[in-house]
Chain A
C-alpha cells in the first residue's frame, strides 16, 4: 500500500512535469527518460553482442557485469515515463512510441515483464562461457523485437 502511493505520487509528478515542459526546449522529459532507459539496454548489449559476434574476446567477468546491468535496468519501475499523452501521435517529432501502447488490449506490459525474465535468465548464465551467453541472448533479443514490432514506429 505505501508502495502504491509512492508510485502514484511519482507518476503524478511526472504528468505535471510532462505538461510543464512539453513543447519547451529540451523536449518531453518522460520521452527523454525512456529513451535513456533504452540506450542503457543498447549500451550493455553492445558488450555482450560484440563478444557473441567475435569482435572482442569473451570475458566472463565483463559479460556478467553487462548482463547484470541489463537485468537491473529491465527490473526498474518504468511507470513514470510511459505516461499517456506522449505517443508518436501526440509528439511526432520526439517519440516513436505508438499509441497502441496505451490502448485497450495493449500487451506492452506483458512483453516488458517477459523481457525482464529473459534478461534475468541471461544474467544467470552470462559468466558460464560464450555459448551459454549467446544461447540466452536469443530470448532477450526476441523480447526487444516483440515490443518494437508492435509498439514502435519505423524511423523517419
Chain B
C-alpha cells in the first residue's frame, strides 16, 4: 500500500516536473538580436501602431510619451494594474537589455524568468518582427523616466500563481497568422491588425480559459468592463467601405458621423498618428475579412 503510494507520488511528481518544463517561461536567444541596431524614428511608428500607451500612461493622462503605469484592468480573473515601463532604471525598465525587453513583449516572460499575464497582449505581439522590437526599444529609451512605483495586481487564487500561466501560453500564444493575405498591402494590413494593433484582443470572443476563439475571429465580443458589446467587423453586419474604415481610424467618425467612444477612442488616438498608407492597409485587411 505504502509502496503503491510512493510509486504513485513519484509518477505524479515526474508528470508535474515535465508539465512545468514544457510550460516553463521562454526567453529569446541573445544571438537572435546580435546583428540588429535600433532606429528610434522607426520605433516611434511601431510604438503608436502597437498602442503601448493606451495601457501604460497614467490613468486619464493624454501624454502618450509618459509611461508610469497605474491604469487598472478589470477581468473575471481579478484586477490588473499596468506597470511602469518608462526609462527609469529602478521604477521602470530603463536598466533592461534589448533581449529582456523582446522576451517580455514577444514571449510574455520577465527578466527573472516568470510568466506575464495575458492582459499584456503578448499573444499578439508574438508576431512582431525582431527588427520592429529592436526599433521600439530604441524609441522607448528616449522617453522620460518616471519614478512611480508599481502597484500589485488584485487576483484571486489560483490566478495569482504565475506558473499556472504556462499552460495558457502553450494553448493560446503562438505566432501563426489567423487570416490569409495574398498582396503586399494585405500583408501589411494583417501585420498591423494581428501583430501590432492587437485588434483581435478586443474584437474577438474568448473561450472559457480566456484564449481568443480564432474560429470566430473579429466577430465581436462582450465588453470586458461589462457594459455593451464590442462590435463585430465581419460582413454582412459590418458593411463599411475601405474609405470609411480608414477615415474612422484617422478621425474617429463613423460613416453616419457618430464619433467613436470607449476604448476604441484610445485606439484611434494611436492610428491617427500612422501614415495614410498604413491606415489604408488596415482598412484593406478588415474589408477582406469573412471573404
Contacts and interface: CB of A to CB of B under 8 A. Distances in A.
Interface of A: 38, 41-43, 45-46, 49, 52-53, 55, 88, 96, 98, 137-138, 141-142, 144-156
B259 A154 contact: no
B23 interface: no
Interface residues of B, number: 25
Nearest to B260: A145
B257 A153 contact: no
A156 B228 contact: yes
B33 interface: no
Contacts of B266: 149
Given A145-B268, A154-B227, A42 B251 contact: no
Nearest to A55: B243
B224 to A, nearest CB: 11
Contacts of A52: 247, 251
Q: Which of A52, A55, A149, A150 has the most CB of B within 10 A?
A: A149
Nearest to A47: B257
23 contacts: A42-B257, A45-B253, A49-B251, A53-B247, A138-B251, A141-B251, A141-B252, A141-B259, A142-B252, A144-B259, A145-B259, A145-B260, A145-B265, A145-B268, A148-B259, A149-B263, A150-B60, A152-B261, A153-B228, A153-B261, A154-B230, A154-B231, A154-B261
A43 B230 contact: no
B256 interface: yes
Contacts of B269: 145
Contacts of A88: 227
A154 B228 contact: yes
Contact of A96 (B228, B243, B253, B263): B228
Given A45-B257, A141-B252, A145-B252, A153 B227 contact: yes
Contact of B262 (A53, A141, A142, A154): A154
Contacts, number: 73
A19 B258 CA distance: 28
A88 B281 CA distance: 36
B70 to A, nearest CB: 16
B223 interface: yes
B252 A144 contact: yes
Contacts of A53: 243, 247
Contact of A46 (B228, B252, B257, B261): B257
Given A43-B257, A45-B257, A148 B262 contact: yes
A144 B227 CA distance: 20
Interface in B207-234: 223, 227-231
A41 B268 CA distance: 20
Given A145-B252, A149-B262, A154 B257 contact: no
Given A98-B227, A138-B251, A145-B269, 4 more contacts: A141-B259, A145-B265, A149-B266, A153-B261
Q: Which of B223, B229, B261, B268 has the most CB of A within 10 A?
A: B261
Q: Which of A41, A43, A141 has the most CB of B within 10 A?
A: A141
Contacts of B230: 154
A127 to B, nearest CB: 20
Q: Which 4 A-B pairs have the closest CB atoms?
A: A148-B261, A154-B228, A144-B259, A149-B265
A140 B148 CA distance: 33
A55 B261 CA distance: 24
B148 to A, nearest CB: 20
